Structure formats: C-alpha cells, structure tokens
Amino acid sequence: MTHIIVLPVIDSERIAYANRNALAISRDRAFLMGEEAVNIIGRGTYSAPSGKLVAVADAVNRAVSETQSIPPTSALPIPTPLEDTARLTLSVANETTFQALQRLQRAGGQPLALNFASGTNPGGGFLRGSTAQEETLARSSGLYAAIKDNPMYRYHKTECERGMASEWAILSPGVPVFRADDGTLLETPWHCDILTCAAPKADIVGLERATTAMRKRVHRVLEIAYTYGYRSLVLGAWGCGAYHNDPTAVAGIFRDALTQTYLGPFDEVVFAISDWSLDRRYLGPFRDTFAELG
C-alpha cells in the first residue's frame, strides 16, 4: 500500500521576489529571447557568457526524433509492470518548472514535466513576447523544435471547438535546456523530459465545461506518464492563468486523481507554481488543497 506524504510548502517572500526578478521581464525582452532561441535551434550552437561555443544540434535533433505524438484516441502501450511505490510524496513549491526539474534530477530522479501548452500555437506566444510557463520553456530550450510541426495544432484548429482543445499530448524526451529562468545562456546545457498538453480556455467555453474537460485531461496526462514509466512528475497550476480555470477546482482534480486512480505508480509529484502575488492567488489554492491530506 502506498503511503501519502505531503511536504511543507516551499514558499517565502525571498523566493517570490527572486522568481519575480527572473520572470517578470518586458515583452520586448521576452520577444528577443524567443527569437534568439529559434536561432540557436537553427544554428545548433550558441555562445555562452564565457565566450565558449556550445553545441546543442545533436541534442535538439535527438529530442525531435524521439518526440511522440499521442492523439486523444490513441491506445497507449501496455506499461511495464512495476511494484507500487512505498510512498507518494506530494509538494507545492513557489518555484519554476525548470527549478523543480533540476531539484528532482539532483536527487536522482528522472522526472517528467507538464508544459501548460497552447493548443493552437507551438510555444504559445513566445515569439510575441508572452511570458507564461510555456513561453519560458520555449525560449529557454529546444522544446519548440520538438513540437512545432506536430499535427496536434492543426487538429485543434480544424476539428475542435474554439477554446476547448483536446487530450492530445506530445511527449518530448531529452529536451536540451540552454537558458536559465532569468534569460542567461548556460555554460553547460542540461536535459529534461516534457509532456505538452493544452488546458481548455474557461473564459471561452465556460467554467463548468472547462472543469469537466480538465478532469479528463488530468487523467490522460497521468495515464501517459504512468504508461511511459515515469515515477516523478512536475505539474502546476495548469490552465489557471490566462485560461482562467479555477485553481481550487484544478488542484482538487489533481489531488483526487493522484490519491485514488493513480495512487501507486508515482513516488514524487511537485506542483511548481511561481507566484509572487501578495495573496498567492495560484499557489494558495494548491497549498490549501493538498494540506487537507496532511
């Protein structure tokens, strides 16, 4: 039987201030970093702050070739039988997706991170200066190369109701990360696995319908992670920003799925939510929802 452990929330004013300094950049600067990321992907190299020429072409090409497109109706492979984990550690942290990934990797894990994707535009608005979670991932890594030509985007534009998207997901292993959250190019890239999936837009389809869709979407994400053998996950306040889903409802959906249907396959799940608002409008509902398990 899997024992559930809820860790104390990782949050402080110092952490929030540091995240704000790193992420609250101008649209112009974000746009330039997005363009630079595309150029780095195209060239396959970049100049690190030390002047060293860093090659990423092989890593980008490998991530592209190993990326798997998973339509909503696709049957998933039969997972390798694994014993249930002895414990599931859940935590909510005021940190970025990349910070959480690196923390889990340093502890010996091989985590999968969820990209809170646009269903119609690869990388969201990272080439227009937008600064949400997906845009940070896209301007900092080779993710754009792995997802930009995926048929998911056309499917959502032509086959889905506006704003609803679907359970279609894109699994991209070994994505090279060449930029820190604050925009600094790294001396040495590191690699991570990313699952791209879009939340519904509650402001377009309505909150009730969006919440129903989110329940199916969360289960699909966890099913994919389980099927492909991931034991640790980096999730977050998916769809709760620009897409206006209710963070309390989304937190509850994740809590119920992880502690009921998907209790056993995972040993650690981090909800990485970089939130510097005074009332912690996104982090707070997740903190409170998971505290109820303690």
DSSP state of 201: -
Interior/surface letters 85-111, b for 16+ CB within 10 angstroms, e for the rest:
beebbbbbbbbbbbbbbbbbeeeebeb
The residues with which 202 forms a beta bridge, in sequence order, are none
The residues that bridge with 176 in the sheet, in sequence order, are 191
Helix axes 247-259, 283-291, angle to 10 degrees: 40
pLDDT for res 86: 86
Residue 62 reports pLDDT greater than 80: yes
Give me the mean pLDDT over the 150-173 stretch. Answer: 98
User: 242 pLDDT exceeds 70?
Assistant: yes
Structure confidence by residue, pLDDT tens digits, 172-215 = 999 999 999 999 999 999 999 999 999 999 999 999 999 999 99
Q: Which range, of 17-21, 81-85, 142-146, averages the lowest pLDDT?
A: 81-85
The whole-number pLDDT of residue 219 equals 98
Per-residue pLDDT band for 46 (boundaries 50, 70, 90) equals very high
Give residue 64's pLDDT band: very low, low, confident or very high (50, 70, 90). Answer: very high
pLDDT of 82 reads 66
Work out the percent of the chain whose per-residue pLDDT is above 90. Answer: 96
For the full predicted model, state whether its pTM sits above 0.85.
Answer: yes
- Cα radius of gyration (the chain): 18
* Contacts for 160 with CB less than 8 Å, ≥ 6 apart: 119, 166
Q: Which domain holds residue 225?
A: 3-291
Q: Which two tokens stand for residue 14?
A: 């110092």
Number of domains in the chain: 1
pLDDT of 79: 77
Check residue 83 and give its pLDDT. 74
Please report, for the domain that includes residue 200, its CATH number.
3.40.220.10
Give 91-143 pLDDT, tens digit per residue: 999 999 999 999 999 999 999 999 999 999 999 999 999 999 999 999 999 99
